Chain A
Amino acid sequence: MRRAACATIVLVILAVALGACGHSAPQAITVYSGRSEALVGPLIERFESETGIDVQVRYGDTAELAALLLEEGANTPADVYFAQDAGALGAVAASGMLEQLPAALLERVADRFRSPAGEWVGTSGRARVVVYDAAALAPADLPQTIDGFTQPAWRGRIGWAPTNGSFQAFVTAYRLLNGDEAAREWLRGIVANEPRRYESNAPIVQAVADGEVDVGFVNHYYLLQAQREQGLPLVANHFLRGDDAGALINVAGAGILTASEAPDQARRFVEFLLGDESQRYFASETFEYPLVAGIDGPGGVPPLASLQQPDIDLSDLSDLQGTLRILQEEGVLP
């Protein structure tokens, strides 16, 4: 029994000591990052060495971190929320937890890539594309619109990820452009073609490379990342016609929490993400589109300026419950 008591005491001391290390010093900020360490870790290290500001990062799933922020409310230790999609930023902003960003920061990116109320700003762009098996298909074989994939010729050849946030943002865009009924129609058409489901974009690219499916609905950079790791010369990206919902360009972005105790440092962080160095980093390391004018985009894809964006305000992509409802009622999601 005494041994047990000793163990308890040691446990508590150790835990409190280690726990104390977790709390931030004054010259430090806490970032909740829905973008993985593999993607943005090196960039954050650069920020730390350039500014001397210590950054504590909590990496996680973008949507789960949004749920965490919503539960924490005003007690959140986070200063910055760095998210993978506009919808999650919108959900946190809608609860009044994000502060108004300075105009100088907002104006670095085009209107269409930031919140109209100025509560978050896009830091990099991600285009929806169709990734395809170039050994089996020529570009001319592929439809110009996402509707084309409801043709029976595509039966058993499509890969998609209905649980993925980027896909759901696309469905919301489709609803906005063509109405709910058309969106249901499109989903039914694709479901009739018996698509293979994957849990995220990266496995879809892998599945196209492995020949499980011929085409997949993904974001443009997953292929570029996979090519860096594995080569994959016979897989390619297909960009749909500019006015099509399938050509949606979503953003990763950041917002500053109103609860932040270091708002100045937090602003410097967001400013850094919009700086030339970071924007070039996104182009060369994560293969996303830089959103600040004058920075070249990633190689191997058409430049952002040449891509037409369907006529949608990204902040309108916030009707997530409506999209979820349609996806569930059409049997696409559990």
Chain B
Amino acid sequence: MALARATIARRPARPGMPPARLLLPALAIAGLASLPVVYLILRALEVDRASLDLVLRARTLEILVSSAALGLAVGVGAIALGLPLAWLTARTDLPGRRLWTVLTAVPLAIPSYVMAFALVAAFGPRGALSQALLALGLPALPSLYGFAGAVLVLTLATYPYVLLGVRAALLHTDPAIEEAGRALGDRRRTVFWRITLPLLLPAIAAGALLAVLYALSDFGAVSILQFDSFARAIYVQYRASFDRSLAAVLALMLIAVTFIVAWAESRVRRRALPLAPTSRRPARPVHLRHWRWPALAFCAVVVGLALVVPLATIGYWLVRGMAQGEPFRVLAPAAGNSLLAGSLTALTVALFVLPIVFLVVRYPGRVSGWIERVLYSAYAVPGIVLALAVVVFVLGAVPLLYQTLLVLTLAYAIRFLPQAIGPARTSLVQVSPRLIEAARTLGQSEAGAFRSITLPLLRPGLIAGAALVFLTTVKELPITLLVAPTGFDTLATAIWGAATEGFYARAAAPALLLMLLAGATVGLLFHGEEQHR
């Protein structure tokens, strides 16, 4: 153990001032991400005293607390599902490991309201499963509506954040540290608790943070499951009274919560063991032996709930609709638009995340801490807030670009950038500055060293981040509806447009296409990753 700890390199003690070529782009990106907050402050200032009493009620605080509880529970749930799945798919001889890797990641692309709808259809009072239980004379399922259902659905929608981040960290961690622990006589379990887990802590915390913030900003699932979350209160304010200033006051309160959560995550990260910047070689897979059966069962249950149930529900809608004469529509333009917007956003985020992650890892401090928190705030506000902020600022500053794909891509990028920070950080902490120095001594230019050393080592983290961003972009709805070029239909808007009017059969085809697209993308990315190793 002593040896294991000794091999772990520490971060530079005093980082000093970041160079301008790092700080300026990072500040520019943070500036973009701060637009929602600035917009909200401008709107909130318009509120008059009398209406302010309306939102500053005891009930508002109550909803804020229950929303926080929801976020916390979803964070814990996402770890409970994501961590074991990551370990099983990255470090063991689990049968069908590659297939499970793809299947467990795809649920990220299922819009949370579709997942909520599917689970209600399956497990609701007269859903398919309840009927089967009833026929067998078994007791009814507990109600899916309310807190428990919201936690279940949002956990299933967000565990891939933990899974993909931790998986990237596991593929990265130098097995030598763990092997040293073993060589020093520690049992495998002790090694896991004392070495592996502390090494994974940053990735776990980053993934859980995304899950918590997603739960705080979600509107679709909580409204179907009839849980009064804070984001729902904000939407109600917009929708029922067209009062944007009161909604702004509520949204600022939500952002305050975001700052607290993001701060807590950074505290956890500070306590973690930094990953060692050393050579990489794949760890020897753990032989599960008879444990492979419970492991398989675990994977099957998660994939069953998060993927098979939604797929089955959608398939049922499709078949039922076609039986009633509903034609099967091919949605090539919508699928093309989703693919285009998703790829452009993933690419943009991969670029944006570079200065951010270098700043955060190499120059930790107050400035980088605040930049990070601002970025997270754009992720945690309800989508409509970010959309309206973009509308106001683009019309005010660059009206020519209003409702263009460029603005849509930038809006998505600032929305989803935080998803790429965790995985990229996990990769970057392993690129030792000494490695770069060595390359420089050997005559490489700075750009050359970046290209030949830093970028290849960063690659898996960037890919994991880009995958997360792609999957969430293709399902994004509120920003797409308000900011996209007029007539720019995506699969997500096609699903919504049909399902919102109760045309479930018509929603089925785009929903299936969306999952197919997601599965193919994840499969391709992981395939590339395996080739690269």
Residues of A within 8 A of B (CB): 1-2, 4, 7-8, 11-12, 14-16, 18-24, 30, 36-39, 56-61, 63-68, 70-72, 75, 77, 88, 91, 163, 165, 168, 196-203, 205-206, 210-212, 222, 225-226, 228-231, 320-321, 323-325, 327-328, 331, 333-334
Q: Which residues of A contact B485 (CB under 8 A)?
A: 18-19, 21-22
Question: Is the CB of B531 closer than 8 A to any CB of chain A?
Answer: no
In the assembly, what is the distance between CA of A228 and CA of B504, in Å? 12
A-B contact pairs, 7 of them (CB 8 A): A11-B348, A15-B406, A38-B503, A39-B501, A75-B395, A163-B239, A324-B240
Q: Which residues of B contact A7 (CB under 8 A)?
A: 347, 351
Nearest neighbor of A319 in chain B, beta-carbon distance: B241
- Smallest CB separation, B491 vs chain A (Å): 13
- Smallest CB separation, A253 vs chain B (Å): 16
18 further contact pairs, Cβ within 8 A, besides A4-B354, A197-B226, A333-B233: A14-B405, A22-B488, A36-B497, A58-B487, A59-B481, A59-B489, A64-B239, A68-B388, A71-B244, A71-B392, A72-B391, A91-B242, A163-B223, A163-B236, A202-B502, A212-B125, A225-B501, A229-B321
Q: Please pick, from A37, A56, A61, A230, the residue contacting B324 in the complex, using a CB distance under 8 A.
A: A230
Contact A37 B497 (CB under 8 A): yes
Which 9 residue pairs of A and B lie closest in terms of their CB atoms, listed nearest first? Answer: A19-B404, A202-B502, A22-B485, A15-B406, A334-B228, A63-B239, A199-B223, A334-B233, A210-B126
Q: Which residues of B contact A56 (CB under 8 A)?
A: 486-487
Question: Is the CB of B99 closer than 8 A to any CB of chain A?
Answer: no
- Smallest CB separation, B510 vs chain A (Å): 11
Q: Which residues of B contact A61 (CB under 8 A)?
A: 239, 481, 500
Known contacts A36-B497, A59-B493: does B126 contact A211 (CB below 8 Å)?
yes
Contact B241 A211 (CB under 8 A): no
Chain B residues bordering chain A, tally (CB within 8 A): 76
Question: Is the CB of B46 closer than 8 A to any CB of chain A?
Answer: no
Q: Which of B233, B348, B403 counts the most chain A CB atoms within 10 A?
A: B403
Q: Please pick, from A64, A165, A226, the residue contacting B482 in the complex, using a CB distance under 8 A.
A: A64
Q: Which residues of B contact A229 (CB under 8 A)?
A: 320-321, 324, 326, 502-505
Q: Which residues of A contact B229 (CB under 8 A)?
A: 334
Q: Which residues of A contact B403 (CB under 8 A)?
A: 19, 22-23, 77
In the assembly, what is the distance between CA of A201 and CA of B503, in Å? 12
- Smallest CB separation, A207 vs chain B (Å): 8
In the assembly, what is the distance between CA of A328 and CA of B450, in Å? 57
Q: Which residues of B contact A24 (CB under 8 A)?
A: 486
Contact B224 A203 (CB under 8 A): yes
Known contacts A75-B395, A165-B239, A229-B324: does B401 contact A67 (CB below 8 Å)?
no
Contact B125 A64 (CB under 8 A): no
- Smallest CB separation, B417 vs chain A (Å): 15
- Smallest CB separation, B68 vs chain A (Å): 14
Q: Please pick, from B126, B486, B506, the residue contacting A38 in the complex, using a CB distance under 8 A.
A: B506
Nearest neighbor of B478 in chain A, beta-carbon distance: A64
In the assembly, what is the distance between CA of A19 and CA of B345, in Å? 15
In the assembly, what is the distance between CA of A165 and CA of B241, in Å? 10
Q: Which residues of A contact B387 (CB under 8 A)?
A: 68
Contact B504 A66 (CB under 8 A): no
Contact A71 B391 (CB under 8 A): yes
Known contacts A15-B344, A163-B223, A230-B320: does B501 contact A38 (CB below 8 Å)?
yes
Question: Is the CB of B54 closer than 8 A to any CB of chain A?
Answer: yes
Q: Which residues of B contact A225 (CB under 8 A)?
A: 501-503
Q: Which residues of B contact A211 (CB under 8 A)?
A: 125-126
Nearest neighbor of B246 in chain A, beta-carbon distance: A321
Residues 273-319 of B at the A interface (beta carbon under 8 Å): none
Q: Please pick, from B126, B388, B402, the residue contacting A77 in the complex, using a CB distance under 8 A.
A: B402
- Smallest CB separation, B440 vs chain A (Å): 15
Question: Is the CB of B365 closer than 8 A to any CB of chain A?
Answer: no
Q: Which residues of B contact A2 (CB under 8 A)?
A: 447
- Smallest CB separation, B483 vs chain A (Å): 9
Contact B347 A11 (CB under 8 A): yes
Contact A36 B405 (CB under 8 A): no
